[in-house]
Structures are given as C-alpha cells and as structure tokens.
Structure 1
C-alpha cells in the first residue's frame, strides 16, 4: 500500500514555482539596486545643495568683504588722519551717495559716542545706536565685524558693518556702514538657484537678513522653528527636514562657514526628491511581471512534454512489474530516453536475476538498517546524555546566580568553590559532546578576569607529595581561562616532579604590564639541544636521561599552546646537566582588576512579560526567580498545553521554551505560538546543544538558542531585542 508523503505538486506547478523562486533573488537584487540608486541620488542632491550653500556663503562673504574694504579705504582719507571730522563727514556723505544700498555711515569714538551720522547734519544730535552690542565688541577686539540685522528708529531694516580706525594721534574710532539687506538679496538674485528652492541668509544671532521668498515680510524676523532647531547644533554644516514659514515641507541644507558667523540655508520641496526612483521601481515591476508571465508560459509548455514522457515511463514500469514486455516510446529528453532503455534492459533480465536480486536486496536492507539503527542510537545517546547532564546543572547555576545577586556574604567562599566546580563539570560535558574538537586539536578558551595568584595557590596546595615552596602576592589579575591556566601549572609541576629533586619552587610576580610565573627545580637540568626542542610535540629527552620517567612528550607542547592562546609566552632555562631547570610563563595583565566573585550584572532595559516553559520544575523555578529579581513579570508552565493556555492569557513579549517537553516538543510549540498571529521573542533553552539542534531551532522560528545551564549573560541576551540566533 502506498503511504502518503504529504503535499504533492504537479510538474507544471513545480516548474512554475522554481521559475518564481529563480526570479526572486533577481527581484530582490533589483529592488536593492533601485534603493541604492535612490540613496545615491539623495546624497548627490544633498551634496549639490550643500555646494550651492557654500557658494552662496562665499558670495555673501565677498560682498561683506567689499563693504569692509570700502570702509577701510575711506578710513585712510587725509581728513580722518588729521582729525578733521567735518571734512571727513563730507567725504563719508559722498561715499554713501555712491552706494545705493548704504543708508548711512556712522563714526563713533572709543567710548561708543556718536560723532556724526551721514543721514543727519554734522551738528545734529547724536541719537542712539541700533546694535550697541556689536559696537562694544568691535571696540574690544579692534577688528572688522558685521552686526545683526535690525529695524532702526525710522523703521528701516539694515545691518551694520564696522571697522576700527585710528587717526594720526592714535585715537581709536569705530567707522560703521549701515547697509540695507537689499545688498545681500541682490547676491541671491545673481545666483542660479532652482525656482522652487527657498534660500535664507541668517545673521549670527539667528535673524533673517535675506530670503528668496517673501523677503519683505520675513526680513529681520526669525526663521521657522524647525529650521532654527536644525542650525542651532554644534556642527557647521548639515541637512535635515524642515517646515518653512509658509508651511511647506522642505529638505534643507545649511552651512555656517562664513567668517562673520552668518548661516546660508538652501531648501527644496520634499516631493521633488525620489521621483526618479519611484519611476524606476514602477518600470522594474512591469519588467519583472512580464518576465514571470513568460517563465510561466515556458514552464507550462515544457511540463506538458515532460509529463507525456513520464506517462510512457509509468506504463513501461507497470509492465516491468507485471513481467510483460516493456515498450517505451523514445523521448526528446536524454535522461528520460536513457531511463526507457534501462527499463527495457531490466525487463529482459528480470526473470533470470529476480531471485539473486531479492537475496542481495534483503541483505543490503538488513545491513543498512543495522547501520542506520547504530547511528541513530549513537546520536540519540549523545543528545540524551547532554540533555540529562545539563538539566540538573541548570537549576544549580541559577541558584548560585540568585545567591550572588542576593549578596549573601556568609556563603561567599562556598559559592566560589561551587561555581568553580560547576564550571569544570560543564566544561567536561561540553568536551564529551564534541569529541571531534578535542581530537582535531581545536581548543577554545573561556576568558575572564581572574586572580592568577588564587589559581597558583589552589594548584600547588592540591598537589600530592612533597610540599612546594610558593612565593606569590595576594592578587595578580590576568584575562584567562582558569581551568586551562591550572592545566599549565599542573603540567609544569608534573614535569618538575619527574625530572627534579623533589624541591620544587614556584614564584609569581608582576610588573606594570606582565605577570611572571616561574617553576624551578634542582634536578637533572637540560643541555642546549634539549632546551631548543623541549616544547616540540612528542619530543623527549635522550633515553639515558629519561629512562625512568616515561611520558609521550606532549605536556610542555600543550603548555606552550595554552599560553600562546592567552597572548603570552613560555620559555625554558637551564645551565646544563645537573643544574636544574626553570620554566617561565609570561602573561599580559588584565586591563582592569576586579574582586572575585563579582555579582552578576543586572539585566538592562524595562521589565518585560516573560513565559518560561520547562518540564524540569527546579530549572523553571530558579530561572523565573532570576528574571523576577531583575524586574520582569514571569509566568511558568511545565507542558506545551499549559504554555499555550498561559500564552493566550498572559500575552508575553518573550517566551523561553525547553525543547524536550512531555506532550509536544519545543519546535512544535513555537509553531503553534506563531500561528496565533503573535510575534514574541522566542528563545530555545535546552540541554540539546549540538549544531543540528541550533539549526533546527533557527528553522523553527526561534530568535535565540541557548544551551543549559544558562548564565546571567545568556538570560540577558534572552530578554534583549538584539541577540542573534546562534548560541
């Protein structure tokens, strides 16, 4: 009886689907290209607008420079040098008459008193200064400057250009030209700018000096709020979205590179940007649709021909099964034609070979089944072993984390010992489940800040046999793997025990950048040839020296590999035969020292709703307590059915799921949650940690795969929004 294989597709639909799938990368690439082109066009337009703003700023500076140069030239008049202010007044009036945009020239003394104003008679009352602040600044710094635009006492809008001058007697004066903004507006009119653009020239205090649109209504007033916020920042140039005083939405660029502190802003309407990109996307969509229709037509035509050939093969296969003569019509598809010939040849040999084929097939199926079963048993054993060993570790680690977070000082030493041993046990489980990593020599380190002095004291104290003379400070902090560094010291001590005289000395010192660990003995020593090769794998001392020591010659090679992975170096020293040996390990000090153990860092971010699903009651409870300690609202379920019910009621933003649940595995539970239409962050927290398990979690829609036992860092990644899928 033929068993169901799930969803089936006709050849026509399959070819159409393949065509569509083949077009999908091209479609995505095309959309990405159009998007990139649109972004490039936007950047080019922004750059062009910025270049235009810089050009306008240079033109405005040139205009102001011209006004300053005119004033400087006027200041060199002989009448001014002689202190004849009445004669200089007449010269200044002639200068104002020659400059249509100049309203007046004002001369003040060093105290800011007005000596004359060309718009009034020479002996007329002085009047007041419209922009006294810029006058005080000029007299203080004594270099040309431009004041702010303002409306004067007669209602006229102007801005001052001021230069300091001195007469032959050394008296200081301030010479000011009062200039109408029309002078700057004329600069705008001379520039080639788009008709729909809006250009603002703003003085150093944020008032509009000239504007390409509605100049008379807006001059001397402030720019729009959004534009004021854009130009208020610390950067001298920038681009952003603004709304102008007329209510139009613009993309504006500004530059504040003027020597006089003025700002030039160029804005263009937003709808003018990206139109070409939209047109390109529409054209691309039409082309893609036409290509898809053409592919569907060709796929239908080919599928009809191939289907007819398959029908012929089907009839030939039926005849072969019945023992009849096989006749298959030729096909224009080479593979199908060869298959038809093979069917005919098989039919001619069917009767003679049936018995032998059946026997061989039975034997082959039996061997394949045995091999398959053995492979499945091995895989299931490793998976179950890892799951069962990691499950009890998970609540132990979580309980230690909770004890650390509660800062129970009475059990600090015990917790430190328990955590060190749990970490060793976890490393053993990981090595057991990844034998290929061990045999291939791929070694991974778990680096953290640790007190190397504690590691040395613990390793030397735990060695059996004669006591070891130890000299070490209270703390020497390095960045390292505690178990691997302990392995380094144990290998060196083992080497000293085998080749030394029983009086082994260990010293640990540190300078500004390096920790120095030294193991010395007074044993047989080493000659220069042995010193040169002592760290080579499988190399041993000559037989007469190492006759009773044994060993494979790997211990010191392993020491060198581990030390180099820590960024350090190891060296051997000896004065020769009978002089003893000395091994020195140098490791870089840690960048920052910290007490051990440190309480786990608190989880960041606002409290979230978290659903924990685990059939291990202790593991679920301890994980929930840790997350609740950090302010998250947690619900716990111990089966898939309870999890779905809790999810519908609780609506969590994060769901942490075990995979080995009693009624439904975690992959199926994740699919059921996603079918509800919700989109929580899905995290797999499981004892199954092989590569295939991670890939399966990724395919099932999990955002993150964590292997038990989970550390506080793992739980922080679980509730965050940025961690990747890989463990």
Structure 2
C-alpha cells in the first residue's frame, strides 16, 4: 500500500522559479561577447598581415621579374648571337657596374662549364658554381628561374637569377646574375609595415633571403621551427601563432603565391596583458564568481526536490533497462509521479522483449556487415586479379606468335594446344574483368546504329571448332555496341559447345519491332532449378570432379547484363535434362541505316625505328622480337628515364609504351616524349582496358590504345604508317 505523496507541485512551477535566476546566462553571454570581439580582432590582424604578405610577394616578384628581364635583354646582344664571347664579356661587365646590387654575371655552356665570370679576367680559371642544382634545372627546363641564396667562396651572400640563351648556331648557354640579398631587403624596407613586425623573404629552397631585423645574422639560414611548421601545415598561405628564434610568441601570416616559389612571412608580437587590464579582468572574475555562487546556492535549494525525484526515476529507468522489477518512490511533483507509474507499467512488457530484440538486431547487423565486406573484397579482388593476369599473358601470347612467325613445324601441335589454352585463359580473365565492372556499375557501352546480321554472321563463321548452322537475314538494324554484342554471341556459342553435342543452331530474325536471336544445342539440357539460376554470377550446373566443361560460371551473367544495357532481355528454355537448351536474346529494332563505308586496310610497313617500353622484361623482349620479325629496328627500355634517353639519342618513329612503369606512368612519359620531339606515333600497350583507360590514353596524346595481350594484327597496326588515331 502506497502512502499519499501529499500536496503535489507541477514541474512547470519549479522551472519558473529556476528561470528567474538569469544572472548566469547573462554572465556567460558577456564572456562570449568578449571572446567573440577578441576573435574578430585577431581575424582582422591576421587579414591585415596576410594583405601585407601578399603585397610584398607581388613586389618581390616584380623585382625578380625585373632582374630576369634585364638578363633577357642582355641575352639579345648581337655579340652572344654571333658567338663572340669576348665582346659579350665586356658588355656583361658594364651591366654589372650599372646594377649596384649585382655581384657578377656568369656565363656557362650547356654542360654547366663556366665560360667566364665578370669578377675574374676573361679567360681566367673557371672555378665552380655555388648553386649547381639550379643551373642543372635551368639547362633541363630551359626557362628563367631563381636559385637558392647561399654564401659564396669569398664569404658574400647572394642568390642567382638564371636565364637560358642560344646563339645563332643553336648552342645553349646559361646566363646568371649573382645578386645580393640587399636588393630584396630594399623591397622589404619600402613596405609600410608595423614597426614591431618582422618580415622574412624565403626562397623556394627554404632559406631566408631578406629579413627586416637581424638581416646579417639570419640571411641564408632556415626560418624558425615555429614558422616552418606553420608553412608546412597551411599549404599555400595562412596565419597562426608561432614562436620566433628568440623564444617570443608571435602572430604570423605567410603566402607562397610567388611565381618563383618564394615565400613572404609577416610576424608581429602577441599583445601582452597590462596591469590595468589584468586588474579589470580580475575584478570581473571575482564578481562573476560571487554571482555564480549565489545563483548556485539558490538553485540548489530549489532543485533539491527535483533532483531527488529524478534520481528515483533514474533508478527506475535503470532497472527497466536491466529487465528488473521497477519501483519508483512517491514524488510531490505531479509529472514525475505519473512517469513513475508509467515506468512500472512498462517494465513487465519491456523485460520480455528487450533481450530478444537486442539479440536479433545484433545478429542482423553482424550478418549485413559481413555480407557487405565480403562483397567489396570480392569485387576488388576480381578487378585486381583480372588486371594482373593480363601481364603474364602478354609475353606468353607474344612467344606463341613469335614461334608461329618462325614456322617451327616440330612444335606445331604443342603450339596449337598452348594457343587453345591461352585463349581459354584470356576468356576467363575477360569474364573476371567484365563481372567486376558489372558489380561495380562501371560497364559502359559505345552505342551506335549497327547491322546485327553482319555481327552475327562474322562472329559465328569466324569461330574455330564445332560447326554452326546459321540462319540470318541480310540486314537487321539495332542500336548497339558491336564488340559487346559479339561477346554475347560468343558466350552463348561457347556455352553451347561445352554442354551440347553436334552442330549449334543460330537463328536471327525480326519479330515485330524486336530482333530475336536464338542459339540452340542438343546437349544435356536443364532442369527447372538450373533454368531459374542459370544467369546468376558464378552459378554452375553440378559437374563431375574432373570439371570437363570448365568455366567460371560468369559467361551467361555477363550476357544478361550486356543485353539489359542494350534495353533488351534474354532467357533460357529447356524441356528438361537430355533435351538440349535454347537461349533467346531480344533487342529493340531501329530504322534501316545507310551502309557504312568500308574501312581502308592498314598499310603494312617495314624498316621503322621502334621503341618498346615495358618494365616486364619478358613482355618487352618478346614484343621486340616480333617487331624485328616484321623487319623493324627495335630498342627496348624498362624505365621511363631509359626511354627518354633513347628518344633523345635515336628519335624513334614509333614508341610502344606500357602505362604502369616504376618511375613515371606512361601518360607522363608520352607527354615528355612529345616535348622532346621524338616518336611521332605513340601507342599504349597496357593491361588497363576499360573505356575510361582508352579515353585517358587519347587525352594523354596516344595515337592508339592496345590491351594486353596484343595480337600480331594489333602490333602490325601499332607500327603501321597511318595517321589513324585512337579507335
């Protein structure tokens, strides 16, 4: 028997009393306002410093561009054009005298050898370059650049500005102006920056060129670790707090928008809290603390009853969650009392269902997670496996082609067996790649008006092995992808050959507005269970341990997906085991189209200079031997660097490139070969064969894209003297 709780007060009345204590929210609002104002002031300071850094970066760029322009003007001197280095030396020496901050002008040849230095008499010993890396870079890229600030042999600090020049005979030179950092320091001093700020100009190699304070001490050294970390973390430009080399806290901003890769950093000391401000903040804190204590005392008195009631509810809720008996103590708060009785009423029902529901949800989530993970792993594995199998297939197919070209009669039977098995393996690889594209939604079609009768005729008559009884009309037009529809028929014919006996029957006809293709065999047939699942990936009919029919169970699944992407449908029919099978493909018909002009045959050529680049040594060697059998001169490289060296020396007419090279991908290598002016015809030979890969190869400048393993016809087309571009 429960005792009466007495007079019950509503929760609303208690909350009204508590809401009257408004000092705490107002105090928090005041603190938030102070904090917001401080943040705004900091943002404004950061923006101002960043604006100064950007303006200074533009000024430094202008100064460097001016030096480059002066050197470029000097490079147009008739003396250097005529190869008169003695006269050009005199002109350069006069130019140094006209530029107070220039220490010297240096002229070097294309090998990096110093021809003269204006600080030395003409013909004196050459000496060595203080910053050889920027000189090598200039000779490689042949465009103006700014080197690293360094301390020279004579103890003077300077940085080089270099421009490439050529004389009338086409000889390449490197013209360098050695400039004192004072020139950049002058730019810094002309800026209207705060007096207590520190401005640093840092070159592309991370060395300080100019600093508004302690220039002599800091020049040619690295910036402080705090500023260096800020520049690493923020990227192109940004602001943040740092500690300078003297240990002082700074607010810093930097920008790296310079065309020459230089960085401009501006730092100002973080403001300290003065005695007056500190006293005001202290008084505000004490007043706030006293107000908070008063509010807490009053709120504690009023909230005791609420806290006690809610503690009872908490214990009841905890018991309900644990499936135990719920007993809530009486409360003088009406709403809390009603909630307590509701908890007690729900406890019995909740105890019966909660444990079972939790177990079922956990099991379901675990099963779904395992299913998603297995599906993702399977798709990724199939895609990688299919690609990796193409690489060893390429030298195997090329070796067989090479033996065929040599007409070795003694190994004809063995080659025939190997060719048949390699073709089978290639078909399995293609099926793996196709099913991976299907499951990942990446299969794409190249739809165009197509005479389906021609596709069926050529596909059926070109297959070796079991005969095909073919019935096709002259024309039957659909909107389709020729290679994919040929793949559909090949997969159906392959299925009929594995499970059928005797000739396979292929019939193509129009059925209303639909093209109807039927492939029939008189083989083992199918039962109802197999018919229901025959188009599922990896599903196969029960077989003997020897697996006489072979395959992965992917061919028919690929057929269904290709047909559906064409807007058609496919199904299978059989009257039962031993009665044969019939597969029917239906595609929408379109209006008859004008016949396409016959493609001109590729003109075979011989005696061309060919470069083969592939990090697979076997694939490169066999491809080169086949091309040599065709009468071409072939050179082989296994890295991009070796390929570029061969292109520079021999200028091949055709370059056949693998895409996955160890030091540079084939797309970048193609661009580099184009810049060198070598190999007017570029061919990609790679295991990447999706439509996106073909489009990327075309965008990279390739004239032709071939997928490994390449046939003899593919290689003939690759080196043919043709202006044809990507298929």
Coarse TM-score class (shorter-chain normalised): 0.3 to 0.5
Calculate the TM-score normalised by the size of structure 1.
0.40
Calculate the TM-score normalised by the size of structure 2.
0.40
